[in-house]
Amino acid sequence: MNFFFSILLLLIGCSTPKTQRSNLPNQTTCPPTNIQIVFYDDQFAYNTNLILKANIKVSFPNINQSVSSTIEIAKMDSLLLSLNAIFGISVGKLFATPTEFIMNNNMENTTYLGSPTSENIKKIAFIELNFKDLISILKTIPTQERTRYYYNKDNHSLEYEDNSIKEILILKGTDTLSQIIRKDLSGKEIFNAQFTKHTKKGKYMFANNIKIDFPQQKGNIIITFSDIKEGELDNIKLTSPMRLTQPKSYKLEKINN
């Protein structure tokens, strides 16, 4: 498999599902009555469709490349990502849901089919960023439902914790998400997503620049949007869920655990 397939799998790498903890110390239901958090609306954020034009730069010890892309997101259930190399040459398309991925690799005339499990993804990459994480980050929204975060009085922050991870949201004012920091329970950073250059679209603020640092892997992914189109506002329609088919001339390779 070449670099372009690797970059796609880097973007949909799955981690193990998490179980929410209860009885966390010093927490209150989020948001507390005296803190007005209005940076996103669950129903709008989850149900909106997006078409994004972006440049993706991947920098890891063994990968340092940039590609242009078109990213289509249907609600929270499917994603279609097209990658172009220099001079606009199409190198591949990826379709993904929480349970499957289909990749048409135009450089090899091959279709890859599999489940985005941690075992499959670790054949190519070793990052902890699952399907829902990716769509949430692309939409500039938290990775968990609003009611799962609690208000930490000591740090004046919004936090989520389960049996494996702790997540901290950093806001700019009350309507803009500027950072998501995820750590394991020993305190080591898993990823740090930073959102900058926000634009008001619909009911909340989208980031035009996103940088996701992976300290343990000594790498990062930088996504820079040149165009953001939102469903209702820009009158775009996407079938939910979307699909991607195998071209008849392409050979099929299944990626199994």
Q: How far is CA 219 from CA 9, 125, 199, 211, 222, in A?
A: 15, 11, 27, 11, 10
The model's pLDDT over 158-183, given as tens digits with 9 standing for 90+, comes to 888 888 889 998 887 767 889 999 99
Number of domains present in the structure of the chain: 1
pLDDT for residue 211: 97
pLDDT for residue 16: 41
Query: C-alpha angle 120/167/116, rounded to 5°?
Result: 15
pLDDT for residue 103: 81
pLDDT for residue 118: 53
- d(C-alpha 33, C-alpha 29), whole Å: 9
Low-confidence residues of the chain, pLDDT below 50? 2, 13-30, 32-36, 124-125
pLDDT for residue 194: 96
DSSP lists the bridge partners of residue 177 as 171
66 touches 57 (CB < 8 A): yes
pLDDT for residue 26: 44
Give the CATH number, domain containing residue 43: 2.50.20.10
pLDDT for residue 116: 65
pLDDT for residue 213: 94
Rg (CA), the chain: 18
Q: Which residue range is the domain that position 143 belongs to?
A: 3-255
* Contact partners, residue 186, CB within 8 Å, separation at least 6: none
pLDDT for residue 167: 92
Q: Which amino acid is at 139?
A: K
Q: Identify the CA nearest to 140 among candidates 91, 71, 196.
A: 196
